[in-house]
Structures are given as C-alpha cells and as structure tokens.
Structure 1
C-alpha cells in the first residue's frame, strides 16, 4: 500500500431502521470538517468514502470482517506506525476518531483539535 488510507462513511446516508431520514456519523463528520477546512493537507492521504451498508468490502479486504467500523485509518506499509496501532491481516490501523485526528495533526500538519 503506497500511502495512509482513511475510510469514512459517506455523509447523508440512510438507515433502513429509520425510513425517510438521513444521517451522518458524528465521528466521521468531525474528520470531514477538518478535511474540508484544509483541502491542501487532505491531498497527502488517500480518503475513501463508503456507504453505510455492510459489508464494507474495501475495508474488509484490507483488515478483515470484524474491523469494518468507520472511521478507520490504515497505515502505509513503508512509514513508522504509532505503538498503539492495532493489527489485522498484517496491516496496522487505528479506528478511534480522536486518535485519528491526533495522528493526522502529528504526521501531516493538520491542526490539533481540543
């Protein structure tokens, strides 16, 4: 894998359990806000927006069925990885939204969020 990959839920999704309503993931939306505010920085990573419905094949193919909750940041193979990263299928990743935001700030110069 050539670069860090960030997977988010596409904003404005539907949930069959609540017909006629649209939703956003608050964790993904916090990251989306940062990406939208600093578009130049956002070009430094691969960002993928996936539908709400499962399975989320793009994530499953990389880190397995049990790790398809979003947001998730899957690290590039050729860069240092934080010690607290999880591992699945030989790939390192983090799926805690606060930790993702902190990593983006530390690695890519995104602003820190308080």
Structure 2
C-alpha cells in the first residue's frame, strides 16, 4: 500500500495586524500525532496555504474538495466509515478530523480518540 497523503494548513495572517491563526481542525490531527508519533512517520504530510485556491489539493480531489485537513487514500485502501470519493478525480479521501484520527489509529494500531456521545 502506498503512503497516505495528509494535507494540513499552515498558520496564516488575515492582515498584518490579524493573526497568526491556526486551523482548529488541523489542530485535532496534530494532537493525534502527539499521542501517536510513530503513525506520523507513516503519513506524507503536505502543508498548504490557507488562501484558496489550494492547487495541491485540487490536483488530487478537484476544486470542490479543497478543504483541510484532508487525508487522501491510495487506490487500494480498505473501506471505512467517513470515506468519500471525489467526483472529479475518483480519489478516495477523508475530510473530517476525528474520522482521520480514527482511520489512522485503526490502520496502524494506534491510540484512538475517545468516542463522542
């Protein structure tokens, strides 16, 4: 199986006097990697700018799916709740931060996020 590719947003400024900011959803995934550093080594992480368009993600998933964080799955990935498919490129992906964490933890036998009620 090829490595998973995870797109995460860089910190950014909205204007010279506003920021820096971080993406709260990306922060959830970054926190997951603190508990599972060995899993972080198994994933190709690509940081992209906050401003759209995000050409790196568009190339993989189409213009309609350029949100982040997003985990792009290899073509031979298994089925998992939360996997979506790009109508433009046909690539499978997960774009919910907790689903990304659950998927990676289950795939690599890592520490899982506590279930939410």
Q: What TM-score range do you get, normalising by the shorter chain?
A: 0.7 to 0.9
Q: Which of the residues 21, 26, 29 maps onto 1:28? A: 26
Q: 2: CA distance between counterparts of 1:108 and 1:14? A: 35
* 1:77 to 1:56, Cα distance in 2 relative to 1, 3 A: same
Give the CA RMSD over aligned residues.
1.9
Tell me the equivalent position of 2:61. Answer: 63
Give the conservation status (yes or no) of the 8 Å contact 1:4–1:74: yes
Give the conservation status (yes or no) of the 8 Å contact 1:5–1:46: yes
Tell me the alpha carbon deviations over residues 50-85 of structure 1, each in whole angstroms, 9 at most, x when there is no partner: 111111111000110010011111101123232541
Deviates more, 1:26-35 or 1:68-77: 26-35
Deviation at 1:37, TM superposition (A): 4.2
* 1:84 to 1:91, Cα distance in 2 relative to 1, 3 A: same
1:1-114 map, 5 Å: 2-10=2-10, 12-16=11-15, 19-82=17-80, 84-88=82-86, 89-114=89-114
The TM-score normalised by the length of structure 2 is: 0.84
Unpaired runs of 5+ residues, structure 2, are: none
Q: 1: CA distance between counterparts of 2:80 and 2:97? A: 15
Q: 1: CA distance between counterparts of 2:62 and 2:41? A: 26
* 1:21 to 1:100, Cα distance in 2 relative to 1, 3 A: same
Unpaired runs of 5+ residues, structure 1, are: none
Q: 2: CA distance between counterparts of 1:58 and 1:42? A: 20
